[in-house]
Homo-oligomer: A and B are copies of this chain.
Amino acid sequence: MPTDTKDRILEAAARLFAEQGYHATGVAGILRVAGVKSGSLYHFFSSKEDLLVAVMQRHLDMLRPQFLERAAAESVTEDPLEHVFSLLGIYRRTLLVSGCKLGSPVGSLALEVGSGIPRVRVLIERYFAIWVAQVQEWLEAAGPRLPEGLERGAFAQHVLAVAEGGIVQSRASESLDPYDACVAQLRSTFELLVARSRYERDESRDSLVGEPARADESVGETEDEFEWRAW
C-alpha cells in the first residue's frame, strides 16, 4: 500500500496556501501541519513552487467532483439554473465555516501568484475555463428560458465574477452579507432575464401565431418560474 505522505503534504500545502497565501506560507509550516520532515517533502516535490503547481493541479482535479458535480447533485431542483446557485452555495459554505477567512483558494492564488509563475497561471486559467464552461452548459440547458440574445459564455464569466468579487468583499468585511447581497442581485438578474425571455417569446409568438400559444404558456409559466430560495 502506498504511503499517504504525498497526499498529506499536498493537503497541508493546499490548506495553508488558502489560509495564508503562497508567499506567507513557509515550507516549515507545511512540514509541521503534514507531520513530515523536509527530506520527505523534497522527495516528492522538487521545490516549493513545484508543490504549488501540484496543489493547483489538485484543485483542478477536484473542481468537477467536489464543486461542479456536487453542485448539480445538491441542487434543490433539477433546474439547471438552480445548479448555478447551488454552486455559489458551496462557496458560501466555505465562507461560513471558516468565518469568512476562506473563500475561493484559486481566486486568491490567481491574484497572488498568477502573473508570477506561468505554470500556475495556466492552471488557474484552465480552472476558471472549466468552471465557466460548466455554468455555461447549465445556462444553455435552460434553453429558451433565457433570452436568445444572451451570450451564455460571457454570462457564465459574469457569474464567476460575482462569486469571486462577492468573496473578496465578504473576506474583507468578515461577514457573509456582501456575498449574499451579490448573489441575491445575481438571482434577481436571472429572474429578470427569464422574465424578459418569456416576454420576448410572447411578443414573437403573438405576432407569429397568436392566442393558441397561451395554452402552452401556462405550462411554460411553471417551467419559467425562478424564484428566490434561502440558502
Contacts and interface: CB of A to CB of B under 8 A. Distances in A.
Nearest to A20: B116
Given A164-B164, A165-B164, A173 B125 contact: yes
Contacts of A158: 162, 181-182, 185-186
A210 to B, nearest CB: 22
A86 interface: no
- Chain B CB within 10 Å, residue with most, of A111, A128, A185: A111
Interface stretch (A2-10, A69-77, A188-196): A188-196
A160 B165 contact: yes
Given A108-B112, A192-B196, A164 B157 contact: no
Q: How many copies does the complex hold?
A: 4
Contacts of A150: 188
Interface of A: 20-21, 23-24, 100-101, 103, 107-108, 110-116, 121, 124-125, 128, 150-151, 153-155, 157-158, 160-166, 168-169, 171-174, 178, 181-182, 184-186, 188-189, 192-193, 195-196
12 contacts: A107-B111, A108-B111, A111-B171, A121-B172, A125-B172, A128-B169, A157-B178, A158-B185, A161-B161, A161-B165, A161-B178, A195-B196
